[in-house]
Structure 1
Amino acid sequence: TADFVEVETETALFHAKVLVGADGSRSFVRRTLKWDDDSRVARLIEVLTPENGRTQPEFRDGVAVFDFTPMTSEGLQGYYWDFPSFVDGQPFMNRGVFDSRARPERPKADLKKTLAGSMAERERDLADYKLKGHPIRWWGSNGRFSLPRVILVGDAAGADPLFGEGISFALGYGEVAEQAINDAFARNDFSFATYRDIVRKHPLFVQLRIRTRLARFAYFLKYPRLIRLGWRVAPWVVKFTAWRDPNYIPGKTPQILLTDLVHSSS
């Protein structure tokens, strides 16, 4: 309605001045409201494999692996990864493949085959583990991020199309959402007509625009020699960016929660 958003759950009915869709790439908010934009979707599959955290170098040295060789061997528009992680205090390796689909006109890589091959190189059999998959929605500067009384944040609005990374940018979304919601209450204008401009001007999302361009270029390369040359040049390019610092964090840890903001406005 003009005065509130009605949210119906299994247990209660809520009326809210503002609805923040922070529910991931498969956003229920986006689907329910039949969100109309031309955002793209990348593909991702992954498994968890139990590991010995004392002997596995990724755990011991605190490193993650990004392997781009499937770009040349499997036609993947992305990479294979090994991320050390802990589940209920136990060490697991998160292994998966990311396909950006930056060039949708090209044939789709067989993600399951690519993952199985990369895991076999690491003496793991994909058939032994539970496979999970989900889409990752691209961020686009011309995307639609709001409707009257509704804004999208985090992966629901869009993640990094170059690496599929979303956590640090989700932190940045919190900051711009706070600014937009404060402004809406101050002016009693909940159209959020300026929300996209606020997002686009934020320094963190300037980085997202750059990564979108880089994704289209990096995954445009078709021939193995060009791909190998590109990744040889990449470390030199990184030296001139903030990414050269291993401690660099794109997004700041939020100092305020959106729930705090709601409580202070009520």
Structure 2
Amino acid sequence: MSANEVVIVGGGPAGMSTAIFLAHHRPALADRIVVLEKERYPRDKCCAGGLGERADRALSAIGVRVDVPSVPVNGVSAAFQVGEIALREGSIGRVVRRLEFDRALALAARARGVRIVEGARVTAASASPRGALVESSAGTFAGRVVVGADGVGSVVRRALGLPFGTLRAQAVEVDTEPVAGDRARDLLHFEMRDRSFPGYLWDFPTVVDGRELVCRGAYVLHEGALGAGRGAGPAPDAERVLRSRLAALGLDPDRYRRKRFAERGLDRTAAIARPTALLVGEAAGIDPMLGEGIAQAIAYGALAGEYLAEKLEAGDLRFNDWGRRVERSLLGLDIRFRRRVMRAFYGAPRERVEHYLLDEPSFLRFGMRHFAGRAQPAPDALRAAATGALVVGRIGIERLLASLPPRAAAHP
């Protein structure tokens, strides 16, 4: 049995960032942090690869630079039923391949003294006020704390007896050659004209073995994600949605290797910690609207690293305020806002929301600047906030009126 201070289950961006930021805040603990990764680097992970510059900024602030092949991104484009829009804001991020990015992040963690055990598939975990115990194919690891960074199907989450929630989505992606009609390669494109399902399709520029390709995918929310009675029935399968999109582009869906994955949104009503154990990244929950994973995983790591440093120093491992710390952080504020907008955008008011987004581009510019981790000019931030408040406020009033009996609704 191996004894450590902190055992982190999962060697993706959330787990590695937690280790790196904890080692930054408490260098003396670095060699007592162990990360258990079930695969061996380099290993591929299904992910569109969009990385907001705010993630690189957070890592750079503690002297970490993840230098891997990538496609620079300057803006976004979106196609709605009511129109299209394309906006640029200078450099806002890049598209990376998880095969390369995760390996480079692991090397950065090792350089800080963190121990990484590859090929360690976790089979069981337990946590109590006395400490944590993790069993894996590479042996048993004991520690004062266990961090679950093991994704949607988190073994740690299950071991803690925490519910998996309804804010879930399925996604499927392929890498194809470019086609006529693709947007410029410095844009992340969101295809949102199909309202038959709650979700979207994407086209992101990527580079695979030196070849300029396009990562295309479908993101489909679980039928219960919008709340009882909000959907029009079971959501379609994401693969069927993507196949239809590929065929419309003149691409043979059977030519490409399809990669499926699932995502979970952060549910503010669900606990994400127990004494001596906490969850980060998708094990805890991310943005359910778009499923933006990598930057939010790194934000979780930055937050958890600082939090764990404080708690270990104080000897307080109850972690009863971890959920509150997440909710009150910039990460939590971002996710909370997206949760509210998601229910409006993918719900009945969708057409009106699309008009707002087209008529008031400051709202999307605000989002791009947040993606980049860039300071917001006060007038633009105020305008975007006012637009968002107007959208959410009007939708709230309409829902209230719709819930009233006919006579009362006619005479509010």
1:61 aligns with 2:185: yes
Following TM superposition, by how much is the alpha carbon of 1:238 offset from its aligned partner in structure 2, in angstroms?
A: 4.8
Following TM superposition, by how much is the alpha carbon of 1:211 offset from its aligned partner in structure 2, in angstroms?
A: 0.3
Q: In structure 2, which of residues 194, 206, 216 is the aligned counterpart of residue 70 of structure 1?
A: 194
User: Matched residues in 1 for 2:338 and 2:327: separation?
Assistant: 13
User: Matched residues in 2 for 1:89 and 1:29: separation?
Assistant: 37
- 1:261 corresponds to: none
Identity %: 27
1:116 aligns with 2:243: yes
Question: Equivalent residues in 2 for 1:1-266 (5 A)?
Answer: 1-36=128-163, 38-49=165-176, 51=177, 58=183, 61-71=185-195, 75-101=196-222, 102-103=225-226, 105=229, 106=231, 107=233, 108-221=235-348, 227-240=350-363, 243=366, 245=368, 248-250=371-373
User: Matched residues in 1 for 2:166 and 2:317: separation?
Assistant: 24
SS at match of 2:141: strand
Aligned-partner residue type, residue 16 of structure 1: G
User: Matched residues in 2 for 1:187 and 1:251: separation?
Assistant: 34
SS at match of 1:109: coil
**Structure whose residues are more often strand by fraction:** 2
Question: Number of residue pairs matched?
Answer: 242
Aligned-partner residue type, residue 117 of structure 1: S
Aligned-partner residue type, residue 182 of structure 1: A
SS at match of 2:372: coil
Aligned-partner residue type, residue 121 of structure 1: A
SS at match of 2:187: coil
Query: CA 1:152–1:244 in 2, change beyond 3 Å: closer, same or farther?
Result: closer
Bigger mean CA offset, 15-24 vs 89-98? 89-98
- Normalised TM-score (structure 1): 0.80
User: Matched residues in 2 for 1:183 and 1:86: separation?
Assistant: 40
- 1:95-134 CA-to-partner distances (Å, cap 9, x unmatched) read 1111123336432124333211211121111122222222
Alpha-carbon contact 1:46-1:96 (below 8 Å) kept:
yes
User: Matched residues in 1 for 2:246 and 2:302: separation?
Assistant: 39
User: Matched residues in 1 for 2:129 and 2:367: separation?
Assistant: 49
Following TM superposition, by how much is the alpha carbon of 1:31 offset from its aligned partner in structure 2, in angstroms?
A: 2.7
Following TM superposition, by how much is the alpha carbon of 1:179 offset from its aligned partner in structure 2, in angstroms?
A: 2.7
User: Matched residues in 1 for 2:352 and 2:157: separation?
Assistant: 40
Query: CA 1:154–1:180 in 2, change beyond 3 Å: closer, same or farther?
Result: same
- 1:129-187 CA-to-partner distances (Å, cap 9, x unmatched) read 22222221111222211111111111111111111112221121112212321222122
Asked which structure has the greater CA Rg, the reply is 2
Structure 2: where are the runs of 5+ without partners? 1-127, 376-412
Alpha-carbon contact 1:169-1:250 (below 8 Å) kept:
no
SS at match of 1:91: strand
Aligned-partner residue type, residue 137 of structure 2: E
Alpha-carbon contact 1:37-1:144 (below 8 Å) kept:
no
Cα RMSD over matched residues? 2.7
Structure 1: where are the runs of 5+ without partners? 253-266
Alpha-carbon contact 1:204-1:250 (below 8 Å) kept:
no
SS at match of 2:250: coil
User: Matched residues in 2 for 1:25 and 1:251: separation?
Assistant: 29
SS at match of 1:234: helix
